[in-house]
Amino acid sequence: MIVLVGTGFAWRGVDTLVSNIERISDLGLGGQRDGAVDILLVGVDSRTDAKGDPLTEAERAMLHAGDEIGTNTDTIVLVRVPNDGSSATAISIPRDAYVDIPGLGKGKINSAYGITKQTAQDDMLADGATPEVAEEKSTQRGRQALISSVAGLTGITVDHYAEVSLLGFVLLTDAVGGVDVCLRRPVDEPMSGAYFPAGRQKLDGPQALSFVRQRHDLERGDLDRIVRQQVFMAQLVHQVISTDTLSNPTRLRELSDAVGRTVVLDEGWDLLAFLNQLQDLSAGEVTFETIPVADLNGTTSTGESVVRVEPDDVQDYVAGLVGEEAGSTDPGTTTAPAPAADPGTVQVDVFNATSVSGLAGSVSQELTALGYLPGEVGNYSDGTAWQSQVLAASETDRGAAAVAAALGGIPVVADPALAPGTVSVVLASDYAGPGSGSEDVIDFGDTSTSATPVPPAPPIAAAEDGPTCVN
C-alpha cells in the first residue's frame, strides 16, 4: 500500500488495477484543508478477503491465521503527502497504544475497529437486521471508530482510507518478486513462523509476513516490530522505483489481481488523479517515522499490558514532522489561517440519533457554555445515523468547523438542504465528545504513570543502498 500511495510513476494499465479495487463510502473523511493529503493505511488481521469471502484453509495455514473470529488492525500507518506531491511521511502507530476510542472510552487502538464492529453487529442483529446488512454496517462503524481514534491521537484529519488484509500483504510481496531484508542475527520464533538466518536475504510473501509480524524475542517488542515493518516498506518502495516492476506486464497483472482481492479504498478517492500528482516523487523523499511513546510497558488498573502514549506529545511530534508544508502548497509562500468563527454568531441545532436519553440536551448545554447560541434540540428523525457529524451548507463553513473542533473533531458534512450559516449537529453512537459521559461507557482502567519515555526510532528513508539491517 505504501507503493500505491507513497510513490509516483507512469503506470500502463493502472486504470484496470484501480477499477478492481473494492470501494467503501460514508467514513466521515476529510473536511479540513491543511496543505496535505492524509491517508490512513490499515493492515487488517482478517479471515476474509476484501469482498467478504472467507479465506481457504490453505490460505489461513499460510498466514498462520487460526479460526479465531475477530478483526484487529495490527498495522496502522498515517501517511502525510503535501499537496505538491514532493514528499511523503509515513507515521507508524503502535498497535497497543492506549487511546480514547469513540463510544468505548480507553482501549488499545488496534481494538477500536474490532470491538466497535462486534458491538454494532450484535445490536443490529438483535434489532432484526439481516446478517448481511449487519456485517456491512458494523464493518463501516468499525472503520469509522478507527479513523476517529487516529485523528484524536494525532490531531490530523484523515482524508483517505486504505485497508489491506494479511493475504494482500503476501500477494503484493510476491507480485513484486519478493523483497530484500537484512537481519543482524538469526531468528527462530514459532509464534510468528519467523525462521531466518542472519544477513541479507530475499523474502517471498509468507516469509515477509512472518518477518513483519514477529514481536516476541525482540528487545523492544512492538516498537522493534514497527521498525521491521518500516524497513520492509522502505525497501519495497525502493525496489519498485528502481526496477521495471511497473512496466512488466506479468508483474502488473499479479499486482492487479492481488489488489482486487485484498485492498479496500474509500469511494471518494480519485486514485488516478492522486498518482498523477506524485509523478516527481522519488524514493528518497519517502520517510518512515514512529510516534513517541511514554511507556512501552504500561499497565492498566486491571493489569492489562499496554503502550502508553500522551496525545499532546504525539500531536506536537506529528505537527513538527509536517508543519513546514502544512501552511503552503508553494515553496516560499505562506497562507494565513482563516479567522476563527465567533461562537456568539453561531446558532447550533443538536439532534440525538442514539438511544442515550438526554444526550442532545447535554451537548447543547456544553456548546452554550462555550458561547454558542442554542438552537433546536431533539431526536434525529431523518432515518438512521451511523456516524456523528456537523451539517452545514458547505464543508468550509467556519462556524461548522468551530463547532466540530469543540466537539472533539467530528467531521463536517455538506448538506445542500441547509441555509448558509445554519449549523446542525447529529449525534450517533460513536460520539465521545463533551457532554457524552463517554468515560462511563466502558472503563478500561488507567495506565501507570511512572515510566521513562521511549524516544522514537530514527527515521528510515526509502532510498538507502540496500535494506537496513535490523533485529
pLDDT digits (tens, 9 = 90+) for 175-231: 888 999 999 899 998 888 889 999 999 999 999 989 988 888 888 888 888 889 888
What average pLDDT does range 126-131 have in this prediction?
93
What average pLDDT does range 437-463 have in this prediction?
56
Question: If residue 165 lies in a helix (H) or strand (E), which one and from where to where?
Answer: strand 160-165
Rounded Cα–Cα distance for residues 253 and 246 (Å): 10
Query: What are the C-alpha distances in Å from 385 to residues 202, 380, 392, 425?
Result: 48, 8, 16, 11
pLDDT of residue 364: 92
Question: What is the pTM (predicted TM-score) of this model?
Answer: 0.72
> Residue 337 — pLDDT band, cuts 50, 70, 90?
very low
Mean pLDDT check: name the lowest of 5-14, 143-152, 205-214: 5-14
- Do the Cβ atoms of 367 and 374 come closer than 8 Å? yes
In 304-445, DSSP assigns E strands to 305-308, 347-352, 373-379, 389-392, 412-414, 423-427
| 85 backbone dihedrals φ, ψ, rounded to 5° | 65, 20
Does 340 have pLDDT greater than 60? no
- Do the Cβ atoms of 13 and 256 come closer than 8 Å? yes
- Do the Cβ atoms of 65 and 87 come closer than 8 Å? no
Does 139 have pLDDT greater than 70? yes
Closest CA to 259 of 177, 173, 168, 176: 168
Rounded Cα–Cα distance for residues 299 and 129 (Å): 38
Residues in the chain: 471
Query: What are the C-alpha distances in Å from 52 to residues 46, 258, 412?
Result: 10, 15, 30
Percent of residues, the chain, with pLDDT higher than 70:
80
Does 305 have pLDDT greater than 80? yes
What average pLDDT does range 311-338 have in this prediction?
58
Alpha-carbon torsion, ordered 447, 451, 452, 454, to 10 deg: -30
At residue 142, the 3 state secondary structure works out as: helix
Strands 187-189 vs 194-196: parallel, antiparallel or unpaired: antiparallel
pLDDT of residue 336: 38
- Give every CB contact of residue 237 below 8 A, 6+ residues apart in sequence: 2, 3, 6, 7, 283, 286, 462
Mean pLDDT check: name the lowest of 75-89, 271-285, 292-306, 355-369: 271-285
pLDDT of residue 2: 52
In 330-449, DSSP assigns E strands to 347-352, 373-379, 389-392, 412-414, 423-427
408-445 confidence digits (pLDDT tens): 778 888 888 888 878 999 998 778 778 876 544 444 45
Query: How far is C-alpha 316 from the geometric centre of its chain's CA atoms?
Result: 18
pLDDT of residue 444: 46
20-74 confidence digits (pLDDT tens): 788 988 888 876 666 788 999 998 877 777 777 777 788 777 776 555 555 778 8
Q: Report the mean per-residue pLDDT for the chain.
A: 80
> Residue 258 — pLDDT band, cuts 50, 70, 90?
confident
Q: Domains along the chain?
A: 19-325+456-461 (3.40.630.190), 343-427 (3.30.70.2390)
Does 116 or 16 have the greater pLDDT score? 116
Does 457 have pLDDT greater than 90? no
Does 404 or 326 have the greater pLDDT score? 404
pLDDT of residue 329: 36
pLDDT of residue 102: 82
Rounded Cα–Cα distance for residues 29 and 38 (Å): 10
pLDDT of residue 7: 46
Rounded Cα–Cα distance for residues 416 and 418 (Å): 5
Rounded Cα–Cα distance for residues 408 and 153 (Å): 11
